[in-house]
Amino acid sequence: MAFTGNLTFTAFSPAELRQRRAKSALFRVDQSFAFMSPSAGYIEVLPGLISDFASVPRTAHWYVDKDSPAILYGSIIHDYLYRVAGKLPGGRTLTRRQCDEVLREAMVACGARPSQARVVYWSVRAGGWISFGKGHEPGITV
């Protein structure tokens, strides 16, 4: 399990956020960023992906810091997988469950405690169906 490349991104300005009717801060990935998943193989996010990073419910902030590197890196990979409904280049397709497992693996690779990764995994299992494959940007009123 390893990440390749540095995660570099640009934060949207307050004016851009208002224009997009964003509910939270948004960030644009500036250069390729990838994760080698033990279960899903190589997953690359290309520049231009827009993410709100982790959408951790407020009730879980005491246990999982949404700004921790342990969840930020995996959140970018997971947002990409959800945006494309698990359809990867070369014809590979991951189920939503597999996409959620990649997030869990990425969190552990970044140093999250296994129990934290499980809490996040089960949270996205419970509520992720709302966003999977919708193709819209996170934090945007649809």
Per-residue pLDDT band for 42 (boundaries 50, 70, 90) equals: very high
* Dihedral sign (CA 98, 105, 39, 1): positive
Domain boundary assignment for the chain: 2-50+61-130
Is 136 a residue whose pLDDT tops 80?
no
Per-residue pLDDT band for 24 (boundaries 50, 70, 90) equals: confident
What value does the mean pLDDT of the chain take? 84
Please write down the long-range contacts of 17-23, taking CB distance under 8 Å and 24 or more positions apart.
Answer: 20/137, 20/140, 21/140, 21/141, 22/52, 22/137, 22/139, 22/140, 23/139, 23/140, 23/141
Averaging pLDDT over each range in 33-47, 59-73, 107-121, which range is the top one? 33-47
